[in-house]
Structure 1
Amino acid sequence: MAKKKKKTPPPPPQSVGLPAGGVETHAHLDMEPLDAEVDAVLDRAAEAGVSRVGQVFLGPEAYEAGKELFENRDEVFFIMGIHPHDAESVNGASLDAMAQAFADDARIKAMGEIGLDFYRDWSPFDAQRIAFREQLSLAREKDISVVIHSRDAAEETLEILDDMGFADRPVLWHCFGGGPDLGQEIVSRGWFASIPGTVTFPKNEAMRRAVAALPLHAMVLETDCPYLTPIPYRGRTNEPAYLAFTAAEVAHIRDVEPAAIWRATAQNAAAYFGITLPDNA
């Protein structure tokens, strides 16, 4: 009986050869299993060239429970907002808690991820609409940038943002997965699109066309870890170090060097979130 050949392990993220200075704009490091090894995860990210990481807290309670995980990790900045799945928890108390946190903690750089999710009915759609509008109102009142979650709800998400006066305000479309038409809608309003690891999936042809067409000045990168792991680690827990593979694929689609995508998207993220990059970036 012939012996089975051992599978060749995927290359490590640092094999992409990216310099320090990359920015991971959307990570959930307070979620299992990443929360048990935050320091090791961030160290691996640094080895792959990721110098700044946006940690997303899904509401004020998650923020209060998880912020101490990053007490000694200055490369991490915060994003905080109530996800559409938890829309029914948006009320006067939660909005007041969010407003207070934004006032007290300079590490919180944006409100998110907020928006609409019609893919799953884990929260009533009407409640999602109300929660979205109430958080947008707070963001507008406090002049806070927003990070948008929109799944199977792009048309209505755009309508609400337009109705709330967010054209030409700081908006980042998290986990962009649409085609060229949605990309154009986002760019035409002066917003940013955040590209996740799903761009490495061969069947995402419309998304790949959109990434080819998006102006580079309107693009940032994310993992959405522990979800949406890019090839060649698809099927495993995602983490910020794997952002390197997303950058490499975007570079391949656009026929440029990965380092060019890495630097440009980092500079875009730094400008959007108001963070500084390392001196050597």
Structure 2
Amino acid sequence: MAKKKTRPEPEELELPPVGVESHAHLDLEDFDGDREAILERARKTGISHLINVFLGPDAYERGHPLFTAHPEVSFLLGVHPNSADQLTGESLARMRTFFKADPRLKGVGEIGLDYYWERVDHATQKTAFVRQLALARELALPVVIHSRDADADTLDLLTANGFCDYPVLWHCFGQGLELARSVIDNGWHVSIPGPVTYKKTDDLQAAVARIPLERMLLETDCPFLAPEPWRGKRNHPALMAFTAKRVAEIRGRSLEDIWQITGDNARRFFNL
């Protein structure tokens, strides 16, 4: 009988406590059974700060008390494009109130366009996107973008609404050099997720080789998109260490350098 393969654990990489997980969904029910343990594992792996993303005002109101005892967790709040039809004047007003009351809310996101699932018509998605961009500018907060199969329209709306050289982060970047150049040329940042570790992501890896390190952050988007060697399992913040390891290999830098640089970038971007 073949011996079961043992996967390495992220704590084994012995990273310094300077990493920043820039995009997690730890409020989801996937973590209801072990959220505290997951946060402790992140700390032990060298993550000093996490950004939890709340998908709408109801999710924020329900979920932010989960992190009362964890000052290392900051928040994003935005209505996802797949729920764009739920953005009303009332929900936008609630979001504005929450942002003004809670200094742990560090940006508007994830917002944007999603033409993959086609759950909401494109016109409604665009309207919700533009309304939330206006809220971000009103509050002078960074924007975190979700774009899936909609990159041309996402770029067009950002530039048409005057967001060149504004603090914009392209979340879960998974494309190649062409999109990376457009993002960087507009003065924006990219966040690299677990798929950079996968074998058939040559375009993404080529982009990671060329993206300026000062514009790069790391994320898990957990519980989704776990990196190798944990692909197919529930993702969680500590596993971001393996994403950093692959980025370090692509860039020919030490793992510790990438961990420090991307963490510093996140601290500056979100004013942590």
Q: TM-score range by the shorter chain?
A: over 0.9
The structure 1 segments of at least 4 consecutive aligned residues displaced by more than 3 Å after TM superposition are: none
Q: One-letter code of the match for 1:227?
A: F
- 49, 55, 61: which is aligned to 1:58? 55
- 82, 98, 103: which is aligned to 1:106? 103
Q: CA RMSD in A?
A: 0.7
- Unaligned 5+ segments in structure 1 are 276-281
Which residue pairs with 2:9 in the alignment? Answer: 12
Residue 8 of structure 1 and its aligned partner are, at CA, apart by: 2.0
For 1:196 and 1:238, the matched residues in 2 are separated by 11
- 163, 166, 169: which is aligned to 1:166? 163
Is 2:217 the counterpart of 1:217? no
Residue 89 of structure 1 and its aligned partner are, at CA, apart by: 0.7
- Aligned residue for 1:194, secondary structure, equals strand
Alignment of 1:141-220 (within 5 A): 141-220=138-217
Which residue pairs with 2:81 in the alignment? Answer: 84
Residue 254 of structure 1 and its aligned partner are, at CA, apart by: 0.6
Q: One-letter code of the match for 2:196?
A: V
Residue 17 of structure 1 and its aligned partner are, at CA, apart by: 2.5
- Aligned residue for 2:235, secondary structure, equals coil
Which residue pairs with 2:127 in the alignment? Answer: 130
Residue 196 of structure 1 and its aligned partner are, at CA, apart by: 0.2
Is 2:271 the counterpart of 1:263? no
For 2:105 and 2:138, the matched residues in 1 are separated by 16
Count of paired positions: 272
For 2:132 and 2:54, the matched residues in 1 are separated by 15
Which residue pairs with 2:45 in the alignment? Answer: 48
Q: Deviations over 1:229-280 (max 9, x none)?
A: 00000111000000000000000001110110000000000000010xxxxx
For 1:111 and 1:56, the matched residues in 2 are separated by 9
Which residue pairs with 1:279 in the alignment? Answer: none
Q: One-letter code of the match for 1:116?
A: L
Q: One-letter code of the match for 2:16?
A: P
Q: One-letter code of the match for 1:72?
A: A
- Unaligned 5+ segments in structure 2 are none
Q: One-letter code of the match for 2:36?
A: D
For 2:6 and 2:226, the matched residues in 1 are separated by 16
For 1:36 and 1:144, the matched residues in 2 are separated by 33
For 2:33 and 2:4, the matched residues in 1 are separated by 28
For 2:198 and 2:29, the matched residues in 1 are separated by 24
For 1:160 and 1:179, the matched residues in 2 are separated by 20
Name the TM-score, length of structure 1 as normaliser: 0.96
For 2:166 and 2:17, the matched residues in 1 are separated by 30
